[in-house]
Structure 1
Amino acid sequence: MFKAEKSALLSALALVGSVVEKRSTIPILQNVLIEREEDRLVARLTNLDIEAKTYFKAIVIDPDFEAFTVPAGLFADIVRKLPDGAEASIERPKDGKLGSILLKSGRSKFSLQVLPASDFPEMKMPADAVRVTIPADELDRAIGACGHAMSTEETRHYLQGIFLHQSAGSEDATFVATDGHRLVKRLTQAEIGGSFKGVIIPRNTVRVLPKILPDAGDIELMVTDTVVRFVGGSSILMTKLIDGTFPDYQRIIPTDATMVATIGSKAMASAVDRVATVSGERGRAVAFSFADQQLRLKVSNPDAGDGEDEVAYEGEATIDIGFNAKYIADALANLPGDIITMSLTETGAPAVLRTNGGNPENLIVIMPMRV
């Protein structure tokens, strides 16, 4: 029915492991649908919450081509193990019935069972979608920066994703994630073709998204109250949204900081990593003592010992406060630039981290810990 290069088939099946659920009790959801759209073929995957479509080129498409579905994981494994540069042909069995397909490549031949293409579910796009266009690299950085702050607690499902909304008074799109202990806010350039209320993109979708983002160009989002569609490169990703209300995150961001310390991010990250070694747990609190432009970091572990380190900073901050070592490490890894600022108020109040000289709206808030 068609012939394609191994590389083209692999690109079409690249999202199998991210979308297809191996333990699904619905057989058709473990399959990939191969169908034709004009002079191209498209591989479609779904788990009923996410649908991915990837277009790929075929060397030859026979006139008798008919859409079919085959086990996605098995199909991908076979293609992956073909020799580099190989071509694969997909043929009907000799009886002409599409109860199975033959995959041939060189001396290799496989027969794979087929389920009807008509049984494959399709997600529908509502008609009232708002078009949002974001540069691919901007979107990649935004979801990368927010990803580590998404909650994993099942009881707070409305925090298990990234909140996307319009920035008041500008064309920027704002991405926010929080797990109740830390919060990340990131603005991106955007062209927005209307108004939409904030939506929560699920954690699983956030993890798949980077795999469809091209190195350059724009990503088109079609945003509705129930689903969002992302079009990037040769792929289209559609996802259901989390049904819930994201908290009023602006109330969490301190606006009355009385102290600001400017610190080298790499030096601080290295020092935090060193002292946290003593704790044996990345989540143990690290004591931060700001005084006389020297930040002293300390960890005490009754079972192992103590660890101390120092980092120079600029500013008039004078405060003793504790933070989760992992949260600090994640924040520093996701703030661009070599210099960061920490805005502080008091021992029991959260700190705000920003890139020095960057957009003040791009920030990370970290709640303190008792040391």
Structure 2
Amino acid sequence: MFTAEKSALMAALALTANVVEKRNTIPILQNVLIEAGAAPGSLSARLTNLDIEASTPFKAIADVDFEPFTVPAGLLADIVRKLPDGCDVTVKRKGGKLDAVVIEAGRSKFSLQVLPASDFHEMKVPGGFQHRFTIAAGDFAAAITACGFAVSTEETRYYLNGIFLHPTAADAEHQGVILVATDGHRLSKRYVKAEMDPAMPGVIIPRQSIKVIEKILPKAGEIIVELSENLIRLSGGSSLITSKLVDGTFPDYVRVVPNGHDMEATLDAPTLAAAIDRVATVSGERGRAVRFSFAGGQLHLEVKNPDAGDASDTLSYDGHAELEIGFNARYVNDALSHLPGEQLTMALGDTNSPAVLRSIGAHPENLIVLMPMRV
């Protein structure tokens, strides 16, 4: 029915672990649908769990008698992964009726049971999509990654289990979208330029869908984003993702972002990250607090662990800051790893106020907020 290179087929099946639920009681939801692709010389692999549907193309030479079919996704992915690198994978029908396929590569041969393509679930969009905009793929991918680390995993606060996407205000100087994620301990916010309807409602993209988006959407070109009341669809580079939205209200995050801090320190990001990593070596699992002591252009970092020992380090900073405050070491280094550039500013209030981190020269909306800890 078709022949494809191992690498191409493996790339198309890469989403299996993110979409297919191994213990799903509905057999068809454990399957991948192999169907004709939109471009000549390609087929497409489609997966769904009823909350997310993802489709990605792969190069293949299809026979004239090719017809769509479904096979267990996890099993097919395991088989292809264990085949020799660089080999061609051939899939043929077993017998006249398409109720099983034979997979061949070199001397290896496998037979898999088929479920009809007509049984495969397709996410319907009643009434169609009400909003649509185009966004630069690279900028959108960078914003998703920069916010993804701050998404909450606490299921009781389900409305934080995703990235909040909303348009900038109608009178904003720069038209576009804002992406925000928070778990209550840190908040990450990014702006991406786009021409769109400022009246579009804000939506929450689920955590599971974010992982899929990061894997298959292109990092170059453009992405088309479409929204309905309950669904979001993203398409680019022949890949397509349709996902349910989180049914909840994202909190008023603007109140969490402080304005008009009295103090600001400019720091070298790699130097700060390395120093925090060193002093955090002695911190225990129960407490990862690092004391930040700003005074006279010197930042003194200190960790005290009664069960293990103490550690300290010092680095220079520019600006005006005289303050002692504590932060979670892992949260600070997570933030630093998602701020581009070598230099950053840390805006500070008092011991109990959140700090705001920004890369030098970045858009003013691109920031990370860190809540302090007691030390």
Normalised-by-shorter TM-score class: over 0.9
Structure 2 SS opposite 1:276: helix
Residue correspondence of structure 1 range 120-199 to structure 2 within 5 A: 120-126=120-126, 127-168=128-169, 169=172, 170-192=174-196, 195-199=199-203
Residue correspondence of structure 1 range 165-244 to structure 2 within 5 A: 165-168=166-169, 169=172, 170-192=174-196, 195-244=199-248
> CA distance change for structure 1 residues 221 and 108 in 2, over 3 Å: closer, same or farther?
same
Q: 2:57 aligns with which of 49, 55, 58?
A: 55
Matched, 1:285 2:289: yes
Cα-Cα RMSD: 1.7
Residue in 1 aligned with 2:333? 329
Residue in 1 aligned with 2:70? 69
Letter in 2 for 1:74: L
> In 1, are the aligned partners of 2:30 and 2:72 still within 8 Å (CA)?
yes
> In 2, are the aligned partners of 1:212 and 1:232 still within 8 Å (CA)?
no
Letter in 2 for 1:117: A
Structure 1 residue 82 displacement after superposition: 2.8
Structure 2 SS opposite 1:122: coil
> In 2, are the aligned partners of 1:18 and 1:208 still within 8 Å (CA)?
yes
| Structure 2 residue runs without a partner (length 5+) | none
Residue in 2 aligned with 1:108? 108
Alpha-carbon distance between aligned partners in 1 of 2:8 and 2:324, rounded to the nearest angstrom: 57
Structure 1 residue 193 displacement after superposition: 5.5
Structure 1 SS opposite 2:139: helix
Residues 32-85 of structure 1: CA distance to partner in whole angstroms, max 9, x if unpaired?
0112256542211011111111122321322x3222110111112222233333
Residue in 2 aligned with 1:16? 16
TM-score (norm 1): 0.95
Letter in 1 for 2:285: E
Structure 1 residue 282 displacement after superposition: 8.6
> CA distance change for structure 1 residues 283 and 325 in 2, over 3 Å: closer, same or farther?
farther
Alpha-carbon distance between aligned partners in 2 of 1:34 and 1:73, rounded to the nearest angstrom: 14
Residue in 1 aligned with 2:33? 33
Alpha-carbon distance between aligned partners in 1 of 2:45 and 2:103, rounded to the nearest angstrom: 16
Letter in 2 for 1:8: A
Structure 1 SS opposite 2:138: helix
Alpha-carbon distance between aligned partners in 1 of 2:335 and 2:259, rounded to the nearest angstrom: 19
Structure 1 residue 90 displacement after superposition: 2.2
Q: 1:305 aligns with which of 285, 305, 309?
A: 309
Structure 1 residue 109 displacement after superposition: 2.2
Structure 2 SS opposite 1:190: strand
Alpha-carbon distance between aligned partners in 2 of 1:288 and 1:193, rounded to the nearest angstrom: 43
Residue in 1 aligned with 2:256? 252
Residue in 2 aligned with 1:118? 118
Structure 1 residue 273 displacement after superposition: 1.1
Alpha-carbon distance between aligned partners in 1 of 2:308 and 2:107, rounded to the nearest angstrom: 61
Matched, 1:343 2:370: no
| Structure 1 residue runs without a partner (length 5+) | none
Paired-residue identity, %: 60
> CA distance change for structure 1 residues 31 and 283 in 2, over 3 Å: closer, same or farther?
farther
Residues 125-147 of structure 1: CA distance to partner in whole angstroms, max 9, x if unpaired?
35133222221211121111111
Residue in 1 aligned with 2:4? 4
Alpha-carbon distance between aligned partners in 2 of 1:142 and 1:332, rounded to the nearest angstrom: 15
Letter in 2 for 1:75: L
Structure 1 residue 283 displacement after superposition: 5.2
Letter in 1 for 2:70: T
Alpha-carbon distance between aligned partners in 1 of 2:369 and 2:218, rounded to the nearest angstrom: 30
> In 2, are the aligned partners of 1:164 and 1:176 still within 8 Å (CA)?
yes
Letter in 1 for 2:131: V
> In 1, are the aligned partners of 2:129 and 2:226 still within 8 Å (CA)?
no
Structure 2 SS opposite 1:315: strand
Alpha-carbon distance between aligned partners in 2 of 1:153 and 1:300, rounded to the nearest angstrom: 29
Residue in 1 aligned with 2:97? 97
Q: Which moved more, 1:171-180 or 1:100-109?
A: 100-109
